[in-house]
Amino acid sequence: MKQKYFYLPELDSLRFFAFLSVFASHFCLHSGLGSLAMIANVGAHGVDLFFALSAYLLTELMLREKDSNCLGRLDVRAFYVRRALRIWPLYYGFLLIAFCATLAYPVSGIPPRSFAMYAALLGDFPIAAPSSLIVVSLWSISLEEQFYLIWPNVMQRLSRRGAAAAGALLWLCCLVLRLYVLASGRGLFWLTPLIHVDSIACGVLISGLRLGARPRLWVAGAILWIAPTLYIYYGNPNALLVTVGFAFIGAGSGAFLLSAMGTTWMRRDTTVYLGRISYGLYVYHGTAIVAASWLLAPCAAWVKWPGVPLASFVATVAVSAASYRWFETPFLKLKERFQYVRSQPFKEPA
C-alpha cells in the first residue's frame, strides 16, 4: 500500500490558539476575579475547538486511509496503537507524577477517586471532577478516548457521504438527549459529554462534506462563541435555548476551523511549533499556573498580575518543549510505523 500524505500546518497553529483560549480561561478562574468571569467562560470553549480539530483530522485521515487501500478498509488495530502512542505516555506519566506528588504533599481539591476515574479514562463524568487546576483539564482526554474507542469501527463501514450523515445524526442525538436531560431538571452539567459532542460532530461533518477554507468565518466563530455564553451564563436560560446555545458553540468551533484552513499567516514556524507541542501545553499549564501563583503569593499585587500569567506561560512552554523533545518524540517515531497516511511535517524529496 502506498503511503499518502495529509498535513495542514495552519491547523497546528490553530491548536496553539485553542490552548491560549483554555489557558486564559483557567488563569481567570484561578485568579478569583469576578471581572474576568466572561473571559473565563468564553475561553473555556477552546476545549471545543480542540474537539472539532481532532474529529476533523482523524476522520479525514481515516477516509484517506480507506481511499489508499485497494480493499477500502481501515486498519483499526493500527489506529488504536497510534492513538495510544500519542496520548497515553504523557497522559499516564503526568497522572502518575501528580498522584505521587499528592501522596508526599497532599493537595486539596484532588480526591483519590479523581485519579482512579482519570486512570480509567472516565474523567468527563462529574463524580470524577477535582477542583484543583493541576489535573482538572484532563477530563477532555477521557471524552476523546471514549469517542475514538467507537468511531474507527463505525468509519470502517462508512463512505465520505456516510461519515457526513453519521456526523449529522450524532449531532441530532446529542441535541435531543441534552434537551431531555435539561428539561428533566438534572442540571446543566449533569453529563459533561452532552455539552461538547456538538464540536466533535461538527468536525466529522466538515470532513464528511469536504468543506474547504472559509477565511472570513472567524467572525461568525467569535459571535457563535460569545452570544450563547452571554445567554447561558448571564441570561435567564430555558432548556431549549441552552440546548441550542451549546450547538451554536460547536458550530463556532467549526467556523474557526474552516477560517484557519489555507490561512498563510498561520503557517509561521513559531505558532506551528507551539501547536505541535500543544498537547504538553494543555497537560502542564494547570500545574504551572498553580506553582506560579504560589511562588509569587508574597509579592505585591502589581507584580503578581503580570507575573503569574507570564511566569506560568513561559514555564508551560519550556516544560512542554522539553517533554516533546525528550519524552514524547520517541513514542511519536514509533507511532509513524503504524501510519498509512502521514500527518507530520514532511518535505518531498528533491
Q: What is the mean pLDDT of the chain?
A: 89
> What pTM was computed for the model?
0.94
pLDDT tens, 17-33?
999 999 999 999 888 77
Query: Is 349 a residue whose pLDDT tops 60?
Result: no
C-alpha separations of 303 from 74, 295, 297, 309, 311 in Å: 54, 12, 10, 11, 11
Percentage of the residues of the chain whose pLDDT score is greater than 90: 63
Residue type, 180: Y
Q: What span, in angstroms and rounded, lies between the C-alpha atoms of 114 and 135?
A: 9
Please compute the mean of the pLDDT values over residues 63-73 and round it to a whole number.
83
Parse the chain into domains and list their residue ranges.
36-74+156-267
Read off the pLDDT band of 348 (50, 70, 90): very low
Give residue 3's pLDDT.
53
Report residue 192 as a C-alpha cell. 459533561
pLDDT tens, 258-315?
999 999 999 999 999 999 999 999 999 999 999 999 888 888 676 677 888 999 999 9
Please compute the mean of the pLDDT values over residues 76-103 and round it to a whole number.
94
Q: What span, in angstroms and rounded, lies between the C-alpha atoms of 321 and 329?
A: 11
pLDDT higher for 11 or 294?
Answer: 11
